[in-house]
Structure 1
Amino acid sequence: MTRQEWWLPIGYARAVPPGTTVEDLVEEVRFMMSRYPTLRTTLRHDPDGGARQVVAGAGEIDVEVVDAADDEDPELVADRVRQWYWDGEYDLVHGWPIWIAIICHKGTPTHLVTVMTHLVLDAFGGIVMLEELVSRPAGPTAMPPLEQVRWQSSPAGQRQNAAALRYWEKVLRAVPHRRFPHRHEPRSPRHWEGRFRSPAAHLALRVLAARTKVDASPLLLATFAIAMARHTGINPVVIQVVVNNRFRPGLARSMSPLSQTGICAIDLAGLTVDDAVRLTARQAIAAYKHAYYNPSDVDDIVARLADERGEELDIACFFNDRRIEVRDQAAGPPPSPSQVRDALGRSTFEWGRRLDTSFERMFTHIEDVPDMMAITIAGDTHYMSPNDLEACVRGMEAVAVEAALDPAATTGIPS
């Protein structure tokens, strides 16, 4: 958040059922604040610069009531309030990390607006919260955050952290001298975001999934790694993968932020694409296994290794498969070569936001769009120019299509 100068907010403007009263929604807010400790967690900054989390046992929260004018669309008003909260300035020391508003039209509630920082939850935690607002369970459905802290401090938790740190250090020692082309071309705004959509790559990935027996997420990671290596000429490819830690015992239904990054160093030299896919799948599993750790400890390792090398450890390359509805390739027989070729002309790329606040040096998001390889790519143009960013996503399509049409296709990275 500090590096990106943004709260990374999560939230929604949700329509409420007809007949819902203000009192009903206040009771819903009371349930949320009572049930989920992360909603009543603030920060305390220590003199040494460290931060602690403080969970309140009781308290009060303000809920704004916004009346839409008679001639206004309450849905538009609700989205305007959501955006205002989205862009707002949180006080994470003295205020709650959540803002809430009830939108009314002609005196009747129409929407509940809820926006919170990423310190409260991740996307999967948001799904849990929305489901529990309907089911209203009485007892815990997951390990509560305070119990997570106790486990993390236990011998078992410390063994997990130590194993993760050993893995991170081993991978980080394999990081090449450079990770990006380092164009250093002055641009303002400096940070660009683009959107790529490819039905051909989606069909090609279905062919690869059937042939390699590898799931869609590591398939996408492999195509990204190969495209990066081809374009930059830098191998092995080092990527931080965003990992949803809810596969761990007791955490599946936790309403808390459980996503952390794992790290991969993928050596693609002299491989076929199929072999690179299988290697990436194994590397991804290792990254997932070691993606539950104290982030301050990893920061310390990165700083120590950078000091040993006498240069910055350049690892700000992220891959985030944030699909929820469309997690795997469609069932049924794989597409034919002609279907893959015919879809190539329907690919699109367009530039979106351009900001002077950071997206990180490079961040690749896989989006939840059916029947499509849908990618949002964002980067620092001082390290990856706009042409580099576009070439990377188009390169992912090229890798997938080449391999779908030719099982012997190679990564193109020399040994």
Structure 2
Amino acid sequence: MPDPATATATATATATATATVTAARAVPGAGAPGPALTPVRRIPVRFSGDGAGLGELSWGQREIWLTMLRQRSWLPIGGWSRLAPGTTLAGVADELRWIMRRYRPMRTRLRFTAGGRPLQSVAGRGTIGLDVYDCPDDADPEAFVAALDARDRGRPFDFVEEWPVRMAVVRHRGAPTHLSTVMTHLVTDGLGGRLFLAEVADRANAGPDTGLPPLDQARWQAGDAGRRQNAKALRHWERTIARLPAKPPPAAGRFLRGELRTTALPLAVHVLSERADADSSQVLMALFAQALPGDGPAVLRPMVSNRFRRGFERVVAMVAQRGICAADVAGEPFAEALRRVGVAAMAAYKYAYVDPDAVAGLYARAGADPDAGLWFNDRRVATRQGFGGPVPDADALRAAAPGRLRWTVEQDDPFDPLSVDVDDDGEDPGALLLTVFTDTARLPAAGAEALLRRAEERAVREAIAMLEETP
């Protein structure tokens, strides 16, 4: 393997990142950054940590990297927050130093082989800048930090030279009031992000970091045990890919993002999961499986956290990967569809821990459509493990209005293929927020909306029927 630290490889890396990963999309509604968004100071924060080394990307890192290339975005995560009164710049710098020391993905940059293959390089020491911005006295600091956060998400990212976190403090009338923290998705997945926030908020009580870091994950994956796991997973993928349609010819389309806020769906899912004694995520997957258009098996691509694996439960790293399953549910009663989806989903969860390059090879050899089916990501926190309160009655279900849909983004750069993310609605504690992404060349806006409506309507209909049949 060529030395990735050579000037040739570095030049290849920079060219690859510039050519294939463009600036991230701005956050809708965040406001346009203005000329005042210039740091008045950059505080150098020196750090050190263990685990330095160079190696292949882990499977989770490799999968999110391929997603970045496909979407032409560095997929920034993070956000801004208010600082507690009395917070000092020195205190924020100490927090940043602690973060860089504790979490190896924060000290990880990419190096590229002469052929352009990315490697992870974990640094044992370094210096990162903490930017300081002064919001004008007569301006709103929240609007200022929101614009700053959007600007930092929109700036191109240099995977070779930049540390994977951009942190900035906003001062208003001399006092630090807000913090913006933007990271590349190579750092962690959603569950790791929540763990990160909890540990940073209570640093004094954070125990030793016992999670398996990505460099160690990659070493395990390259060993005998990893190869055995990969071989078993690939057999599942090969069987499922054989059921997929052929890859269609390229077609021009636009990529849309929409949001459906619904109170009817969570009421119905509460009933269905309780009465059928089924996981609510399984219920949602069965509803969408029967709502999908077309003939043949319903293909679902659930996002799997992989955190049930040893060493992954409390690691701040990118370990989530897409699984795959196919279930014949067309025309079946909902109870049978729920059973079939549950069986298929268990295999998807078990075999989502796999080398994404090997999976791509299976698709290519089969000539199958790698974007077939519905990509599904259940990101709920409050209701994921169960709904609070009594089971709704039939009258409550009949009274629930259909969800409200609005299209929020239209663009040329691709999102994921037909995809639905499920979140608890932050604006309405009793609602769910469904975020849908679609390629209009495959499924126009009307078809994507119909998919959501069919799932919602079927949920309500099946829940009412189940309530009325229950003695």
Structure of higher RCO (CA pairs closer than 8 Å, 6+ residues apart): 1
The 5-angstrom pairing of residues 246-325 of structure 1 reads 246-306=307-367, 312-315=369-372, 317-325=374-382
Match of 1:413 in 2: none
Cα deviation, residue 269, structure 1:
3.6
Contact kept in structure 1, 2:327 and 2:341, CA below 8 Å: yes
Task: Tell me the distance in 2 between the aligned counterparts of 1:382 and 1:223.
Answer: 24
1:192 to 234, 256, 266: 256
Name the SS for the 1:384 alignment partner: coil
Contact kept in structure 1, 2:132 and 2:168, CA below 8 Å: yes
Relative to structure 1, the CA distance from residue 312 to residue 330 in structure 2 (aligned partners, 3 Å threshold; closer, same or farther) is closer
Larger mean CA deviation between 246-255 and 137-146 belongs to 137-146
2:156 to 75, 89, 107: 89
Name the SS for the 2:436 alignment partner: strand
Relative to structure 1, the CA distance from residue 331 to residue 62 in structure 2 (aligned partners, 3 Å threshold; closer, same or farther) is closer
Q: Which amino acid aligns with 2:435?
A: T
Cα deviation, residue 331, structure 1:
4.0
Contact kept in structure 1, 2:245 and 2:372, CA below 8 Å: no
Cα deviation, residue 133, structure 1:
1.4
Cα deviation, residue 336, structure 1:
1.9
Task: Tell me the distance in 2 between the aligned counterparts of 1:286 and 1:380.
Answer: 28
Instruction: Find runs of 4+ consecutive structure 1 residues off by over 6 angstroms.
Output: none
Q: Which amino acid aligns with 2:153?
A: W
Instruction: Confirm or deny that 1:383 pairs with 2:442.
Output: yes
Instruction: Confirm or deny that 1:365 pairs with 2:438.
Output: no
Relative to structure 1, the CA distance from residue 62 to residue 313 in structure 2 (aligned partners, 3 Å threshold; closer, same or farther) is closer
Task: Tell me the distance in 2 between the aligned counterparts of 1:226 and 1:312.
Answer: 20
Task: Tell me the distance in 1 between the aligned counterparts of 2:225 and 2:88.
Answer: 48
Q: For each residue in 1:121-140, what CA deviation from the matched residue of structure 2 results, as whole angstroms up to 9, or x when unmatched?
A: 11211111112213323522
Instruction: Confirm or deny that 1:33 pairs with 2:111.
Output: no
Match of 1:98 in 2: 165
Q: For each residue in 1:212-249, what CA deviation from the matched residue of structure 2 results, as whole angstroms up to 9, or x when unmatched?
A: 11111111111111100xxx222201121111111212
1:153 to 216, 219, 222: 222
Relative to structure 1, the CA distance from residue 380 to residue 158 in structure 2 (aligned partners, 3 Å threshold; closer, same or farther) is same
Name the SS for the 2:116 alignment partner: coil
Cα deviation, residue 278, structure 1:
1.8
Contact kept in structure 1, 2:263 and 2:403, CA below 8 Å: yes
Name the SS for the 2:282 alignment partner: helix
Contact kept in structure 2, 1:238 and 1:265, CA below 8 Å: yes
Contact kept in structure 2, 1:11 and 1:82, CA below 8 Å: no
The 5-angstrom pairing of residues 5-404 of structure 1 reads 5-136=72-203, 137=206, 139-177=208-246, 190-228=254-292, 232-306=293-367, 312-315=369-372, 317-343=374-400, 345-369=401-425, 370-404=429-463
Name the SS for the 2:92 alignment partner: helix
Relative to structure 1, the CA distance from residue 131 to residue 329 in structure 2 (aligned partners, 3 Å threshold; closer, same or farther) is closer
Match of 2:49 in 1: none
Relative to structure 1, the CA distance from residue 148 to residue 312 in structure 2 (aligned partners, 3 Å threshold; closer, same or farther) is closer
Relative to structure 1, the CA distance from residue 138 to residue 202 in structure 2 (aligned partners, 3 Å threshold; closer, same or farther) is closer
Cα deviation, residue 21, structure 1:
0.8
Contact kept in structure 1, 2:394 and 2:467, CA below 8 Å: no
Size of the alignment, in residue pairs? 396
Structure 1 length-normalised TM: 0.90
Q: Which amino acid aligns with 2:263?
A: P
Larger mean CA deviation between 112-121 and 312-321 belongs to 312-321
Name the SS for the 1:63 alignment partner: strand
Contact kept in structure 2, 1:143 and 1:250, CA below 8 Å: yes
Relative to structure 1, the CA distance from residue 316 to residue 65 in structure 2 (aligned partners, 3 Å threshold; closer, same or farther) is farther
Q: Which amino acid aligns with 1:205?
A: V
Cα deviation, residue 156, structure 1:
2.1
Task: Tell me the distance in 2 between the aligned counterparts of 1:251 and 1:333.
Answer: 35
Task: Tell me the distance in 2 between the aligned counterparts of 1:94 and 1:67.
Answer: 26
Give me the identity figure in percent: 39
Name the SS for the 1:116 alignment partner: strand
Q: Return 5+ residue gaps in structure 2 as ranges.
A: 1-67
Relative to structure 1, the CA distance from residue 340 to residue 348 in structure 2 (aligned partners, 3 Å threshold; closer, same or farther) is same
Q: For each residue in 1:37-96, what CA deviation from the matched residue of structure 2 results, as whole angstroms up to 9, or x when unmatched?
A: 111111122233322111111111111110111112222211111111111100001221
Cα deviation, residue 176, structure 1:
3.2
Q: Return 5+ residue gaps in structure 1 as ranges.
A: 410-415
Cα deviation, residue 183, structure 1:
12
Q: Which amino acid aligns with 1:340?
A: L
Relative to structure 1, the CA distance from residue 297 to residue 247 in structure 2 (aligned partners, 3 Å threshold; closer, same or farther) is same
RMSD (Å), alpha carbons: 2.2
Task: Tell me the distance in 2 between the aligned counterparts of 1:406 and 1:91.
Answer: 55
Contact kept in structure 2, 1:102 and 1:109, CA below 8 Å: yes
Task: Tell me the distance in 2 between the aligned counterparts of 1:78 and 1:328.
Answer: 34
Task: Tell me the distance in 2 between the aligned counterparts of 1:139 and 1:183.
Answer: 50
Name the SS for the 1:245 alignment partner: coil
Task: Tell me the distance in 1 between the aligned counterparts of 2:126 and 2:373.
Answer: 39
Q: Which amino acid aligns with 1:168?
A: W
Cα deviation, residue 313, structure 1:
4.4
Larger mean CA deviation between 24-33 and 361-370 belongs to 361-370
